Amino acid sequence: MSIKQRILMLFLLVSFLSLTQKNRKVGIEDSARYSLAMSYEAIVDMLYLYEPFVDISVLGYSEFGQSIPLLKISTKSALKKKPILIVGNLHAREFYSSKFVLKFCDEFLYSLISQAGIYESANSIIDEYDLYVIPVANPDGLKIAQEDWDGIETYQPSVDSIKRIGPYSDWKANGIGIDLNNNFDDGNFEVKHGHLFEEDPASQGHKGAFPCEAKEARIIQDFVDTLVPLLTLSYHTKGDVLFWADRGTHSYFNGLDEKLNTKVANACGFKMARVSRNPRDYGAGLENYIRSKTKRLGVCVELSPPNDMVEQHPANMFKSLVWDKCKNMPIIYLEELSRLYPKYKYLFEP
Of 273, 268, 265, nearest to 323 (Cα)?
268
d(CA 331, CA 208): 35
Kindly list the distances between the CA atom of residue 227 and the CA atoms of 79, 83, 84, 185, 294, in Å, as whole numbers in the listed order.
16, 7, 9, 17, 10
Q: What is the number of residues in the chain?
A: 350
Hey, what CATH topology would domain 32-347 get? Aminopeptidase (3.40.630)
CB within 8 A of 60, min separation 6: which ones?
Answer: 68, 215, 216, 219
Q: What is the pLDDT along the chain (350 residues), one digit of tens a residue?
A: 544 444 334 334 434 434 445 678 999 999 999 999 999 999 999 999 999 999 999 999 999 999 999 999 999 887 889 999 999 999 999 999 999 999 999 999 999 999 999 999 999 999 999 999 999 999 999 999 999 999 999 999 999 999 999 999 999 999 999 999 999 999 989 888 777 789 999 999 999 999 999 999 999 999 999 999 999 999 999 999 999 999 999 999 999 999 999 999 999 999 999 999 888 888 889 999 999 999 999 999 999 999 887 888 999 999 999 999 999 999 999 999 999 999 999 999 97
How many other C-beta atoms lie within 10 A of the C-beta of residue 339? 12
CA-based nearest residue to 72, from 90, 59, 89, 60: 59
Can you give the residue ranges of every domain in the chain?
Answer: 32-347
Task: Please tell me whether the overall predicted TM-score, pTM, comes out greater than 0.85 for this model.
Answer: yes
